[in-house]
Structure 1
Amino acid sequence: MSKKNLQARDISWLSFNARVLQEANDPTVPLKQRIRFLGIHSNNLDEFFRVRVATLRRMIELGGKKGNMHLEDNPQAILDQIQMTVLQQQNEFNRIWEDILKQLNKEKVYLTNEQNLNKEQQEFVKNFFDESVRANIIPLLIESLPQLPYLRDKSIYLGVVMRKTASAYDQKYSLIEIPSKVVGRFVQLPSPPGEHHIILLEDVIRFNLPYIFSYFGYDHFDAHIFKVTKDAEIDIDNDVSTSFVQKIEKGLKNRRKGKPVRFLYDKEMDAGLLEYLIRRLNLSRRDNIIPGGRIHNFRHFMDFPDVFKAQKKERVPFTHPDLQKAQRVTEVILQKDVMLHLPYHSFGSVIDLLREAAMDPDVTTIKITAYRLAPASRVINALINAARNGKEVVVMLELRARFDEENNLEWKEVLEEEGVKVLIGVANLKVHAKLCVIKKKQGTRIIQYGFVSTGNLNEKTARVYADHCLLTSNRSVMADINRIFKYLENPKTTIQHLRNCNTLLVCPNAMRKRLIAMIDREIKTAKTKKTAKIYIKLNSLSDELLINKLYEAATAGVELNIIVRSIFCPKTDQRRFKQPIHAVSIIDEYLEHARVLIFHNGGKEKMYISSADWMVRNLDHRIEAAVPILQPAIQKELKDIINIQLADNVKARWLDDELSNNYVISGDEKKIRSQIETYQYLYQKTGKHSEASSH
């Protein structure tokens, strides 16, 4: 298939980040959320440069040699387009931030700087610096150093120019790393009644520069923020004498030395210092050298202080109605399947299931996969308690979960100290499936139950990520989960265990083939003029083979309804299609993270929830699983939720061939904001009336 029939993956991703920016720009979104969306946009872009821009540059260096990469036809053209798009978005970002600052001032929230402090605030800032900041900074006089010190990827730095009024020639350069991680980025100042004055940590340091450098005799200081983004790829070496863990640890150390892929700086920075930094970092003008405003690392703004007037009652997670009156989650699951729709339903039910298993004297074994865990993980706490109670506990901990590698290495140590068996991955395959199987003695037999989820076992993100988790004791589902764990526990023997999975769709073996077979069935049906429909909900859709198959379906007349949050590479309106592909993206308060597949199947619908996006990396280079939804009541619930999302005319955008991000607008019809409607739909099943606001 020609790449002309596809949107470039990375340009499509930038279009997604523009949708995040739209939320920051929306005056109907609460101010705290608007600031948070700016933080999300900034954090997304940082990761994009660390991973995707770095990968495109590697492609250019490879010069067409494939290695293990999925090569683009013209990576340099894509990099040029990225540079132009990012600069345009940066201008829009700055415009939105200026508007938000005005709105903050209307609410009597003032973001001040070192030049605008009254006497009381000046005294406070001086004392705060002495007590909380001074011990956490090490100013470096960089001109005297033989090479520029190591610059951390996620940090921001003050580039300081020190001068003496008496001599234009007497100046020095210094660097100060801003210790945001230790101290926090925001400092609340003494403020008049009814007002909130906030200063950024770098401005606290700016104010104190004369004290920091008092012994040098300089009396004039210019200080501007900059940051460096580096290639985040971990290269795993092939040294057979080192263990996999040692290779990950070595890869992490090498990542810190990664090549810079972006340099952002305050456009007011002293020209001499700017030129000096660019030269010492070995950057060229093609290296995404991006001028910006006074503030960088907006990702911290996701944690902006909560100084806002109280909003109406917020939506809070509630217990699934089937579990509300049950003494034990386990007893319900052994009788029937339960589908949790997070974050509407409480993730606490998953924790309860694991705690019950940890304490149940009849439970013998718990096996679970873990990809990204919460900082003080209650999931891990339950598993440790199970091990202490004599259960066999097996945790598949994916050490290569990007940006969570160090956390997972630490969790590995904690778990192993408690007697938990930790599996650390499979060569060349990331384990991304979200699976759990619990084995329990009941009389003379062993019964099994557990869950399959679309999202991580992370109670922190479960409050903001929209996912589905099927709690089940279905024997054929549990049999397949056991097969996957047999493979994970001894991957060198045979991959046949994965091939023997009959109920779950498993990557890298069967999922792609089974998906193609189900799409083919809809194509065949459409050609006989009968009803043929496919509903697809994903985070990302970029796999060429499956896109080609969807094009074939659209040409045959299959009705395609697609919801994709971020990367979307198909072109939806082609002449050969009997009807355009209906594709939307929903960006709202919760991150739409679930993957759902529904095939009409001649009226006997086949439904799946999955951990896998339709990307080459998921389908060919990861262990993934999709579980069928078999209970009619849950099928109806899942289909209803998908239909609510397809009807969204407030937060949905069309995924069109122009990447326009136009909102779906339905004239004078009722406004349907799918996350609100979904909450109300699920909440009314509890028999209660929700008074939660639209925010």
Structure 2
Amino acid sequence: MNQQASKDANETTTTSKPPYMQNRELSWLDFNKRVLDQGADPTVPLLERLNFISIFWSNLQEFFMVRVGSLTDLALLKKSIVDPKSGMTPAEQLDAVYARCHELYPYYEETFENLRGLLAQENICQLRKDDLTDEQLVALDDYMADNVLPFLSPQIVNARHPFPHLENGGLYIVVRLDEQAAPKQKKTKEEKARAKAEKAERAEKGEGKQSKNLGAEGVTLGIIPLPRQTNRVIQLPGEGLSYMLVEHAIEMWVPEIFSMYTVKHTNIICVTRNADLDATEGAEEQGEDYREHMKRILKKRSRLAPVRLESERPLSRTVKKLLLDKLGLAEHQIFVTKVPLNMGYTWGLGARLTPERRAALTQKPFAPQWPACLDRNRSIIEQVSEREVLLSYPYQSMDAFVRLLHEAANDPAVISIKITLYRLASQSHLAEALIAAAENGKEVTALFELRARFDESNNIEWSQRFEQAGCHVIYGFRNFKVHSKICTITRQTEDGLQHITQLGTGNYNEKTAKLYTDFSFITTDARIGADAADFFRNMALENTSDDYSILWVAPLMIKQNIMRKIDEQIALAKAGKPCGLFFKTNSITDKEVIDKLVEASQAGVETHLFVRGISCLLPGVAGYTDHVHEVSIVGQLLEHSRIYGFGPREGCEIYLSSADLMTRNMDKRIEIAWPILNPVLREQVLGYLDISWSDTAKLRELLPDGSYTPLGFFAQADEAGNVELFDSQKYLIAEAQRMRLAAAELAARHEAERAEDRRVVFPLGRVETSTPDMPEVVTEEESEFVVREDAIPAEVPVAEPAAASMADIAEGRATDVVDEALAALRGVAGTSRSEGDSEAAQDLAAGKSAPASKTEDAEAVKPAAEARLAPEASSEPSVEATPAPEAPASAAAVMAVAAGATAASVLQSAAVPAASLSAPEAKHAVAAAPAATEKAPKHAAPAPSSAPTPAAPALAPSSAPAPAATTPAAPAPSAPAPAATKPTAPAPSAPAPASASTPAAPATPAATLEPDPFAPAAEIVDPASPSAATVRETLPTECVTTEIVTAPKKLGFFGRLLKLLFG
């Protein structure tokens, strides 16, 4: 058992349950149900739904291994231990967990069976014995004879053959046997004739009589482990994809395998064992290498006590009694389900389909894009030395950071590279770059955390490879896991030492970087560099220091500073000044932080939480968390970034972190949080949150009773009751692709302008050139730019100088067609990147829009309005232009909130409600939307007009429609006056505190901040709002789903607010 957990639990004295808290384990099970809900969501493609069921299974497997295993250990202690958040002992928590899981299993089974039927309609059939045709039986017989039966190792259980060890997570066919052989059945004439012929054939070969099999005595049970050498899926003849799982096939051969016995009953079982290991156990043994110690500890995992037994069918009385006795389990720890006991096979089914069928049943594939803010043709070291960079995974690729490490490995100026490694991919380009650096003579220090759960073996293997390559490998602290993500590159320059520091919210794992949403911050700030150098020095000395100038390092700084910052907001609220709090985190479980948030709520501080997983805090509890509002997103990507916000939106302090608001992260791990001081990057983070909070497809609100309400109900419906839902993740994927394509097109045009006789091959999409005299741009899949000229090689790297980033959009330098930013960054406008950054930052601070001259320069490369970009490359070269789907208010529009536009006017253009302000703030902000929009800077995104508008230009990140022909052109890209349309209530403002142009209600004591969600609707109607139908025409198809949404039974803060706005 984990000794630290035992110690902490024994020190607990709280026994009463606070009304604003809930149990951690039950909250996690609610999160996993939200994952399973995706498997039942009709708007999700069928194979993706099957994968969500697999994720639910995998999550639950790990939950039993770790959390249930830990509680089982704690329940064995003599002293009664009480969870301070729920007032429950470990035994009570276990009872509640098992009871909740027994409630989840029927829903799990129903979801799978419904999906299995839907897949069968698409000719993807998982077959059982009774489903097989004669042709399939023959094929299965041949396959089993060659690929399965030779590898089986059946066992019997009796006095001479003891009950075997059942591995954790392994599948077994259990067979109820009788000692006597099965009685002979009367043969037909055909069978007798066939047997006679076989006997004669054996006699001719001199084989003699067949031997008789005699079974052993006292046998009641047979066990067949699933062989590891076989494929789990057996594909059979049939239309589409017909397949059988190997365990079901083996069941069919059980009578033949145990032919000497009578088979009474068969079943498939799986045992889940406790896997909560204490890595410090026995660590004091002298002379033992730490890696060898971890290997020894890991061997114990597969043999720890069972905590769950699953079976595909009810067990017979005899078999159940035997299994419970041998495994030491109680009957409530048995779970019976028709769902296959290992759902890992689902991920490979798509590869067995034709590309066309796979595309129809899965999400549109996307690849993380090269960051548009970085020039692929220039040195990354050179660019990050000029300006700070904030990358957003997986929308932007980790390749830029990996390339930075490759450059450092070969840069003569680089002295050392130091990095913390918690989880690595099994095949890692990042790790290879670090090894190459060491082989090139650089000083490479890698801090490996060998206790990263379920990645221990992979980390041990990588640490050995690093050490063999000459890296300095360290392992951190004995009592603290090193969970921080930091890398520092030290260079010797003419001006002295330079530290390039990278800080991340997620792991250095190329695989998960394509699935998890995270931020990666790269800077040459001298203060952060000095702190990074101190950090690695302290790690080598196992020093948990709090002596850092700008970084917050747990366990001595993160929680302490969060508490201090919350106290500051409480003081502002009591003084009647603007205040606010915001946290985006995977989980919130720390009682001290929760109690402090309750104190802030009672003082009147509006607090907004974005929590994907566990939430021990219940929002909206009268007298405690009235001013706390919480939402969650479970969707295509796993929300993983951690963001802390202190203060009202205008001027709020933003910190990114590797730490969740959990006791284990802030008290028992080495974590790092750091501020985003650059105003451009700060607005980039806020813009990302705006988009996420605008989601109506996946966003759910947590209610005071612990249940979740999907907010898609409040999206506007048509006459048939269909609702168009906005998916923020899909939108951000599409936006990253559009920015990447826009950057690449400008590069192609720039190349074409410089050499008209060159042939340019443009990757990723088809482009129709907008200038008749310009050379044709040809698309070739997987190609880079090909420049055909006598003096130039036939193939050169893709020419992609830096394009407009999210930050550029937030500054207003990129407008309808991102002309100004991209052209400037390509050298078209004659402004250097660093100069542009400086000028734009000054303009942002002053509330100015982009200079008209720059926009006029950009007109030189603006393509025709009818040109389009396709989101992906065609598989065949083509000169036809393919229209790209339009976006709602794009990143340019949504982030214009930060630059001065009202959140209401911006979010209207996405036709989706956002919910983050308190009710009084929302009422005043939306009421003031028309006036505020008129006062917004000219680069703010306009609300779409209901009048017919020309198609968006090819380079547009789909921010807003162009003004109607009658609208006079402005010298700078400005917002056209919206046409008169049917009045529609505008959406409430974006997350956390109000935008700069939105008047926020001053914070006062809680009594005067009581929300008024049912104010008369007439007070907040914007007569200039566009109609929903007009707005929806601008939504990209990949970001919108249509669904009939059932009204939730209960409404929270956001639900009441949206009901007010949309009826």
1:538–1:614 Cα contact (<8 Å) kept: yes
- 1:231-273 deviation line (CA, Å, top 9, x unaligned): 1111332433244333322221222221111111123433322
* 2:281 paired residue number: 237
* 1:361 paired residue number: 412
Q: Distance in 2 between matches of 1:531 and 1:677?
A: 32
Task: State the secondary structure of the residue aligned to 1:671.
Answer: strand
Task: State the secondary structure of the residue aligned to 1:542.
Answer: coil
Matched, 1:551 2:598: yes
Uncovered stretches (5+) of structure 1, i.e. residues with no partner: none
**Structure in which a larger fraction of residues adopt strand:** 1
1:40–1:302 Cα contact (<8 Å) kept: no
1:574 pairs with 585, 610, 621, which one?
Answer: 621
1:36–1:304 Cα contact (<8 Å) kept: no
1:321–1:685 Cα contact (<8 Å) kept: yes
1:25–1:34 Cα contact (<8 Å) kept: yes
Per-residue deviation, 1:383: 1.4
Q: Distance in 2 between matches of 1:567 and 1:638?
A: 23
Task: State the secondary structure of the residue aligned to 2:401.
Answer: helix
* 1:250 paired residue number: 296
Q: Distance in 2 between matches of 1:511 and 1:622?
A: 11
* 1:25 paired residue number: 40
Matched, 1:333 2:380: no
For 2:251, the aligned partner's letter is: R
Q: Distance in 1 between matches of 2:328 and 2:672?
A: 44
Per-residue deviation, 1:639: 0.3
More moved, 160-169 vs 276-285:
160-169
1:38–1:301 Cα contact (<8 Å) kept: no
Q: Distance in 1 between matches of 2:218 and 2:474?
A: 59
Distance 1:257 1:174, change over 3 A: same
* 2:60 paired residue number: 45
Name the % identity: 31
More moved, 617-626 vs 315-324:
315-324
Matched, 1:593 2:633: no
Distance 1:99 1:441, change over 3 A: same
More moved, 643-652 vs 391-400:
643-652
* 1:507 paired residue number: 554
1:37–1:302 Cα contact (<8 Å) kept: no
Matched, 1:671 2:720: no
Task: State the secondary structure of the residue aligned to 2:153.
Answer: coil
Task: State the secondary structure of the residue aligned to 2:577.
Answer: coil
Per-residue deviation, 1:156: 1.5
* 1:3 paired residue number: 17
Per-residue deviation, 1:359: 2.2
More moved, 527-536 vs 670-679:
670-679
Q: Distance in 1 between matches of 2:541 and 2:492?
A: 25
Task: State the secondary structure of the residue aligned to 1:415.
Answer: helix
Q: Distance in 2 between matches of 1:278 and 1:188?
A: 35
* 1:517 paired residue number: 564
* 2:8 paired residue number: none
Q: Distance in 2 between matches of 1:477 and 1:211?
A: 70
* 1:310 paired residue number: 359
Query: RMSD of the alignment, in Å?
Result: 2.6
Distance 1:75 1:351, change over 3 A: same
Question: Highest CA radius of gyration, 1 or 2?
Answer: 2
Distance 1:124 1:327, change over 3 A: farther
1:521–1:601 Cα contact (<8 Å) kept: no
2:508 pairs with 445, 454, 457, which one?
Answer: 457
Per-residue deviation, 1:186: 1.8
Per-residue deviation, 1:636: 0.7
Question: For residues 79-94 of structure 1, what are the structure 2 equivalents within 5 Å?
Answer: 79-94=94-109
The two structures have a TM-score, normalised by structure 2, of 0.62
Distance 1:652 1:444, change over 3 A: closer
Question: For residues 648-659 of structure 1, what are the structure 2 equivalents within 5 Å?
Answer: 648-659=695-706
1:98 pairs with 107, 110, 113, which one?
Answer: 113
Per-residue deviation, 1:9: 0.6
1:64–1:71 Cα contact (<8 Å) kept: no
Q: Distance in 2 between matches of 1:363 and 1:64?
A: 56
2:310 pairs with 237, 240, 264, which one?
Answer: 264
Distance 1:133 1:373, change over 3 A: farther
The two structures have a TM-score, normalised by structure 1, of 0.93
Per-residue deviation, 1:518: 0.9
Q: Distance in 2 between matches of 1:12 and 1:652?
A: 17
Per-residue deviation, 1:87: 0.9
2:35–2:56 Cα contact (<8 Å) kept: yes
Work out the number of aligned pairs and report it: 685
Matched, 1:413 2:464: yes
More moved, 294-303 vs 21-30:
294-303
Per-residue deviation, 1:30: 0.5
For 1:292, the aligned partner's letter is: T
Distance 1:211 1:538, change over 3 A: same
For 2:690, the aligned partner's letter is: N
2:230 pairs with 154, 160, 183, which one?
Answer: 183
* 2:372 paired residue number: 321
Distance 1:154 1:328, change over 3 A: farther
1:62 pairs with 49, 59, 77, which one?
Answer: 77
1:166 pairs with 177, 180, 183, which one?
Answer: 183
Q: Distance in 1 between matches of 2:268 and 2:411?
A: 55
Task: State the secondary structure of the residue aligned to 1:322.
Answer: coil
- 1:384-406 deviation line (CA, Å, top 9, x unaligned): 11111111111111111111112
Distance 1:125 1:679, change over 3 A: same
More moved, 84-93 vs 236-245:
236-245
For 1:165, the aligned partner's letter is: A
Q: Distance in 1 between matches of 2:77 and 2:415?
A: 51
Distance 1:620 1:657, change over 3 A: same
1:225–1:295 Cα contact (<8 Å) kept: no
Distance 1:127 1:513, change over 3 A: same
1:138–1:176 Cα contact (<8 Å) kept: yes
2:392–2:519 Cα contact (<8 Å) kept: yes
- 1:425-468 deviation line (CA, Å, top 9, x unaligned): 31110000011111122247221213111111111111111111
1:556–1:577 Cα contact (<8 Å) kept: no
Q: Distance in 2 between matches of 1:568 and 1:234?
A: 25
Distance 1:499 1:309, change over 3 A: closer
For 2:731, the aligned partner's letter is: E
* 2:779 paired residue number: none
1:237–1:247 Cα contact (<8 Å) kept: no
Per-residue deviation, 1:132: 3.5
For 1:196, the aligned partner's letter is: L
Matched, 1:206 2:251: yes
Q: Distance in 2 between matches of 1:229 and 1:259?
A: 9
Q: Distance in 2 between matches of 1:587 and 1:41?
A: 12
Distance 1:35 1:411, change over 3 A: same
Q: Distance in 2 between matches of 1:185 and 1:10?
A: 32
More moved, 546-555 vs 303-312:
303-312
Task: State the secondary structure of the residue aligned to 2:319.
Answer: helix
2:136–2:236 Cα contact (<8 Å) kept: yes
Higher relative contact order, chain-length normalized (CA < 8 Å, sep 6+) = 1
- 1:75-100 deviation line (CA, Å, top 9, x unaligned): 22222221121111100011111110
Q: Distance in 2 between matches of 1:294 and 1:533?
A: 46
1:533 pairs with 546, 562, 580, which one?
Answer: 580
Matched, 1:228 2:271: yes
Q: Distance in 2 between matches of 1:327 and 1:602?
A: 35
Q: Distance in 1 between matches of 2:495 and 2:582?
A: 44
Task: State the secondary structure of the residue aligned to 2:706.
Answer: coil
Distance 1:129 1:70, change over 3 A: farther
Q: Distance in 1 between matches of 2:522 and 2:84?
A: 37
Q: Distance in 1 between matches of 2:610 and 2:379?
A: 35
Matched, 1:276 2:322: yes
2:23–2:85 Cα contact (<8 Å) kept: no
Distance 1:123 1:305, change over 3 A: farther
Per-residue deviation, 1:329: 1.9
Per-residue deviation, 1:225: 1.1
Distance 1:37 1:433, change over 3 A: same
More moved, 577-586 vs 58-67:
58-67
